[in-house]
């Protein structure tokens, strides 16, 4: 049997938000790859699927360094790619885990691009995005009728971010942990702060939900923190 | 036991893309509500979950008319709301099915707004969006790094749509069935046409995938047709 590479979206955190397709893929996998960073050796994605992993499975932790040193990064990625191809050449079913959806802001996209011309079959399984999860759990509709949804990482530079907030009525702000105070100022200025919710680690045991964003000051936020917001209509 | 109202996202079409949470909710429901239009009496959402519906369940088809006659619409919605509250008052678990994700462009949002102050518990279960499904199956990453994703219904007026296409690099165009030729012209002008895919009825038996959009002329498209596109970088 030929090796197949699967990119498996495991959703935002709650194992009940796994799709059947994700579960079936994990149950039949020979090798499960859990991406980790150098700082964080725990794989959240792995913990979400843990109860579906069979005894015989080979779990492989691959480090994807969060570094600006391109040589270091290129070398790590090349090694990870070579390791994956090694398993595929042995005919293994390899499942690469990815939080949320695999085709949105994920390490999997880079791995996919490295492997797509390798000749092996690649199958990608979509996952529930964090912003859909947050919208459902807080009762906050993302977009209705002809409205436009703008999804933007808050790690963008300040001026560009301000411009985006000014033009978008319905917003999803990803990764707000870094520039939180600045993001709050901008949301206030652009008229989004009155109808906004923020969730950290959605669906995980340490989930935190904030409804009154303008009351939060100098807060140390978790990495997986997302704001959804809608501009007040005049 | 008190009645609970569930909004259940059933994903884009493939029953294997249901989440465990959606399946568990459908299995325990007393009443399942399948929204239909006057034109289309078949409920696609119902066909997706069909194999998980228990024998004793009461399936209710509710018509949500697609009309500009506000009186007709208001009356239909009021009747649907009254019917749902009737079940909830009897202590029933009521599951309202919704294609894709419940908080994005859905009839469920209107029903949710009608019921949110009724005093009954409402739980919403997110679903896989059509655009995440399309991105995965076509190997087309939606957004990477600091990129912005813009999700826009192609039913918006022509000038506004053109403006949105001009400013967004990474696009999801929903409901392109109506103004397809105009949308194609605009995508060509804005530099998105070379890297674009279009899918009709994603995950359904009659799914159609188009990779070369500029070769399609005068095509009659299905209602559930979505384009994802990325502007060529110079």
Residues 22-61 of B with CB under 8 A from A: 23-24
CB spacing of A132 vs B101 below 8 angstroms: yes
**pLDDT by residue (tens digit) across B11-68?**
999 999 999 999 999 999 999 999 998 777 789 999 999 999 988 999 999 998 877 7
Of B20, B122, B128, the CB nearest to A139: B122
CB spacing of A20 vs B24 below 8 angstroms: no
In residues, how long is chain A? 234
The pLDDT of residue A229 is 97
The pLDDT of residue B190 is 93
Prediction pTM value:
0.95
Residues from chain B contacting residue A125 (CB–CB below 8 Å): 136
The pLDDT of residue A171 is 97
CB B50, CB B56: distance < 8 Å: no
Backbone angles phi, psi at A193, to 5 degrees: -75, -25
A145: left (phi over 0), alpha (psi -120 to 50) or beta: left
The pLDDT of residue A224 is 87
Q: Tell me which residue of A182, A173, A165, A230 sits closest to A200, measured CA to CA.
A: A173
The complex's ipTM works out to 0.95
The pLDDT of residue A215 is 80
The pLDDT of residue B1 is 63
What proportions of chain A, in percent to the nearest 5, are helix, strand and coil?
35, 25, 40
The pLDDT of residue B84 is 98
The pLDDT of residue A1 is 63
A122/chain B closest Cα distance in angstroms: 9
CB spacing of B19 vs A128 below 8 angstroms: yes
Q: How far apart are CA A117 and CA A54, in angstroms?
A: 30
**CB contact A171 to B (< 8 Å):** no
Between β-strands B58-63 and B31-36, what pairing exists: parallel, antiparallel or unpaired? parallel
| pLDDT (average), residues B118-122 | 96
pLDDT by position in tens, chain A (length 234)? 689 999 999 999 999 999 999 999 999 999 999 999 877 778 999 999 999 998 899 999 999 887 777 787 888 999 999 999 999 999 999 999 999 999 999 999 999 999 999 999 999 999 999 999 999 999 999 999 999 999 999 999 999 999 999 989 999 999 998 888 899 999 999 999 999 999 999 888 899 999 988 888 777 888 889 999 999 775
Q: How far apart are CA A28 and CA B27, in angstroms?
A: 25
> What are the residues whose beta carbons fall under 8 Å from the beta carbon of B106, sequence distance 6 or more?
B98, B99, B100
**pLDDT by residue (tens digit) across B169-225?**
999 999 998 888 899 999 999 999 999 999 999 888 899 999 988 888 777 888 889
Q: How far apart are CA A209 and CA A221, in angstroms?
A: 12
Helix orientation angle between A20-28 and B20-28, rounded to the nearest 10 degrees? 120
Work out the number of other CB atoms within 10 angstroms of the CB of residue A66. 11
The pLDDT of residue B197 is 96
In residues, how long is chain B? 234
Q: Tell me which residue of A28, A10, A123 sits closest to B136, measured CA to CA.
A: A123
Q: How far apart are CA B39 and CA B44, in angstroms?
A: 13
Residue of A143, A174, A195, A197 to mutate, testing the B interface (most B Cβ within 10 Å of its Cβ): A143
């Amino acid at each position: 049997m030929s090796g197949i590479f699967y990119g498996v979206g495991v959703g935002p955190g709650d194992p009940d938000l796994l799709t059947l397709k994700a579960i079936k893929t994990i149950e039949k996998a020979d090798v499960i790859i859990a991406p980790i960073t150098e700082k964080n050796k725990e794989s959240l994605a792995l913990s979400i699927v843990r109860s579906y992993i069979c005894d015989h499975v080979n779990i492989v932790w691959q480090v994807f360094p969060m570094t600006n040193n391109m040589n270091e990064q290129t070398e790590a990625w090349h090694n990870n790619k070579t390791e994956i191809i090694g398993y595929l050449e042995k005919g293994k079913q390899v499942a690469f885990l990815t939080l949320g959806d695999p085709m949105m802001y994920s390490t999997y996209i880079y791995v996919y691009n490295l492997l797509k011309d390798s000749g092996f079959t690649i199958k990608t399984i979509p996952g529930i995005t964090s912003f859909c999860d947050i919208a459902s759990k807080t009762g906050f509709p993302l977009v209705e009728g002809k409205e436009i949804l703008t999804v933007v990482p808050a790690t963008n530079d300040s001026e560009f971010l301000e411009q985006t907030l000014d033009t978008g009525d319905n917003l999803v702000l990803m990764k707000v942990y870094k520039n939180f105070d600045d993001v709050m100022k901008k949301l206030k200025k652009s008229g989004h702060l009155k109808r906004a919710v923020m969730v950290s680690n959605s669906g995980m045991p340490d989930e935190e939900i904030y409804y009154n964003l303008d009351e939060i000051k100098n807060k140390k936020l978790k990495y997986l923190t997302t704001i959804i917001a809608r501009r007040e209509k005049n």
